[in-house]
Chain A
Amino acid sequence: MKEKTDPHDELLPNLFRSEYARITAVISRCFSLEHFETAEDIASETFLKAAEVWSVNGVPENPRAWLYTVAKNKAKDYLKRVSIFEMKVKGEIELEESYRTESLSQSERDIVFTEQAIADSQLAMIFAVCNPANSTEAQISLALQILCGFSIEQIANAFLAKTETIKKRLLRARTNLRNDNFRIDVLKEDAVQSRVDVVLRTLYLLFNEGYSSQSGNRLISKDLCLEAIRLTLVLTDNPLTNTPEVNALLALMCYQASRLDARTDDTGQMILFEQQDRSLWNQEFIDKGIYYLVNACSGNEISKYHLEAAIAYWHTTPADNDKWEHILQLYNQLIITEYSPATALNRTFALAKVCGNERGIREAELVALYGNHYYHALLGYLYADIDVDKSIAHYEEAISSTRSMAEKKNLAKELERLTRVKTGS
């Protein structure tokens, strides 16, 4: 045992983030059932017990192994209780009983927390959760909650939606899953075909949630990104899911991840792209990005992930005359393929780089995303050398509309600079 540690420090919350979903996935799959909420209860109870025991006895040598053992025992206890209940109540039906006992002992044997078992369970789980019985948004919300252990607040941030909306959406989605005989099966080709789009979108959102984390906590942010990469790697490891599109998504993640250490300083403050210390970019990730992007180009398919990966590739190259022209053309294709507010704003930024800030302002104002802090930050940036009053007004609007402290700080710094410019001091 290590020395006694306060369980309310960062360890337990971080473990909860990474292990809650794993424990739920492994147990759910072993139950072979629609009772994934029981698995969630077991995972919750496991963490409750950890909080109690660790505050008295200190944190165990290997906290993950401790959690897995407790969860496994709780799952076995549950199965035993169910089994006794089944025998007493339904004992007279011999055939069914012997079948059940057999399948239960089978389940008990299967509760293992090896890396492989965790990966397989999570992949099977996400394909099960992404059920076409739910709307795309509901599938994503649900997968983020069950597979990735996202809180309702984090899901709301990822969707730029109200927490109340997400809460209702999750309740409805869970009901739909139950009504649709939710099962976690071995992956089959048709399930992959019909669901891979939603699965990829979920992983993409998971990565973005980490990459642009509202928390401003570098560790959590990195953890989420690496989690998304790990899950996507599970897809490339499986021949059924190792498609050009999956490789493109992985390339995108690797390029973005290469900048994780460069984009915040030691106090968690965001460093804008142009001011980043490029020696902090992780060359290993950039090389992996190139590797997966080459893999992604093995077919004729150009998905939005191909376009975004190509944009991320250009960002890793030194500035030359054509760089922004390439980026603009890729954003043009991307926005025509699929609208999103973030793409619209990024595309406008690239347009301003190529065609000048005045044209940028004209098109940015047409994009008209009032109340979106990126929108106001973009206009603040574009107006800075053209109309300082308008620039200041937009930065103020941006500060009041973002919930992220890290971004508030960054925007305030720029606002301060502009105010100095204005007063001539």
Chain B
Amino acid sequence: MKEFVLIFRRSEKSDLKPSPEQMRERMDWLAGIAAQNKLADKGRTLSVSNAKTAKPGNVVTDGPYAEIKEFVSGFIVVKAETIDEATEFAKANPILKKGGTVEVREVITFPVESQD
């Protein structure tokens, strides 16, 4: 079983605070992954308002924004056999309905010397 990080991105700043309905939907989605014993890390939700970006040359800007107007809003780590299976989890995330995206990335594990 491999691990994959699901990175949630949103592009619009409107209604930053999710409605109770949206929270419930997200909770149902997350718990559905956990019920399959495939949630490796429930991750973190990241603040949008309290964010800064450090740049070369001692420059610090407000906000999390990169060049494109899109920001990371959180992440979780799931367990899956293949990236396709992990992507199935991503496709069911309610953030997609609000114009957000979910990026799926395999976690690279460096070979560790076997203890056996």
Contacts and interface: CB of A to CB of B under 8 A. Distances in A.
Interface of A: 328-329, 331-333, 335-336, 339, 343-344, 347-348, 351, 355, 363, 366-368
Contact of B30 (A336, A366, A368): A336
A329 B35 contact: no
Contacts of A366: 32, 35-36
A332 B36 contact: no
A332 B32 CA distance: 8
Interface of B: 24, 27-28, 30-32, 34-37, 39, 42
A366 B80 CA distance: 13
Contacts of A351: 28
B32 A339 contact: no
10 contacts: A332-B30, A335-B34, A335-B35, A336-B31, A339-B35, A344-B35, A347-B35, A355-B28, A366-B32, A367-B36
Nearest to B76: A336
B37 A344 contact: yes
B34 A339 contact: yes
Contacts of B24: 329
B37 A339 contact: yes
Nearest to B26: A332
Main secondary structure of the interface of A (DSSP, over half): helix
Nearest to A362: B32
A363 B33 CA distance: 9
Contacts of B34: 335-336, 339, 344
B10 to A, nearest CB: 21
A339 B39 contact: yes
Contacts of A343: 35
The 6 closest A-B pairs by CB, nearest first: A332-B31, A344-B35, A335-B34, A332-B27, A339-B37, A336-B34
Given A366-B35, A367-B35, A367-B36, 13 more contacts: A331-B31, A332-B28, A332-B30, A332-B31, A333-B31, A335-B31, A336-B30, A336-B34, A344-B36, A344-B37, A347-B35, A355-B28, A366-B32
Contact of A363 (B30, B32, B39, B42): B32
Nearest to B29: A332
Contacts of B30: 332, 336
Contacts of B27: 329, 332-333
Contacts of B36: 344, 366-368
Contacts of B35: 335, 339, 343-344, 347-348, 363, 366-367
A347 B37 CA distance: 13
B9 to A, nearest CB: 22
A329 B26 CA distance: 11
Contacts of B39: 336, 339
A363 B34 CA distance: 11
B64 to A, nearest CB: 25
Contacts of A367: 35-36
B12 to A, nearest CB: 26
B1 to A, nearest CB: 13
Contacts of A331: 31
A333 B28 CA distance: 9
A336 to B, nearest CB: 5
B44 to A, nearest CB: 13
A348 B34 CA distance: 11
B46 to A, nearest CB: 18
A329 B31 CA distance: 9
Nearest to A363: B32
Nearest to A335: B34
A206 B39 CA distance: 28
B7 to A, nearest CB: 18
Interface centre among B24, B30, B37, by most chain A C-beta atoms within 10 angstroms, is B37
A363 B24 CA distance: 16
A366 B85 CA distance: 12
A62 to B, nearest CB: 51
A368 B37 CA distance: 10
Nearest to B34: A335
A336 B34 CA distance: 6
